[in-house]
Amino acid sequence: MRTYLKKLFILSGLLPATFLLGLTFLFLPNQIKNLSLELDEIFVFLSMIFGICGYIGLLLSLLSKLEYKYLLKFTLLVLGVVGSVMFTTIAGGKRAWTWVLNIEEFDEWIIWVWPLIVSIVIMSLNGQKLFNKNEG
């Protein structure tokens, strides 16, 4: 039952994350085409790549075959969280963080923030398992 709930929890984050992944793939070619040496442009590009890594980390968390690949999943999820924070900070700045923290427009908020919450929880579980594995 516990595994079932965990997979359902991950799926609840993957659904809105799939929409965000679609947006990433929609804008990524243009981002690559217009990539300059400006720091903001590079960070936006990196945040998109990191976001894709986070999505892969969530997907891998669903697969039973990879249940014990804690470091791989942890790393991919960390990259996804870092990418989301980077993108929010660069693209939206203070206004975006105010929107996130005040939970304005809940339907849009859930699409943007819920995959991040799911990633942080699953990342924490993988980190705990990694720590316990290395401790013993």
How far is the C-alpha of 111 from the C-alpha of 16, rounded, in Å? Answer: 5
> Residue 122, exposed/middle/buried by CB under 10 A (0-12, 13-18, 19+)?
buried
Query: Considering the entire predicted model, what is its pTM?
Result: 0.91
Residue type, 90: I
Query: Residues for the chain: how many in total?
Result: 136
> Cα separation of 86 and 89, whole Å?
5
Task: Read off the pLDDT of residues 36-73 as tens digits, 9 standing for 90 and up.
Answer: 888 888 999 999 999 999 999 999 999 888 878 999 99
For 67-97, the pLDDT digits (tens) are 789 999 999 999 999 999 999 999 888 898 8
pLDDT, mean over the chain: 91
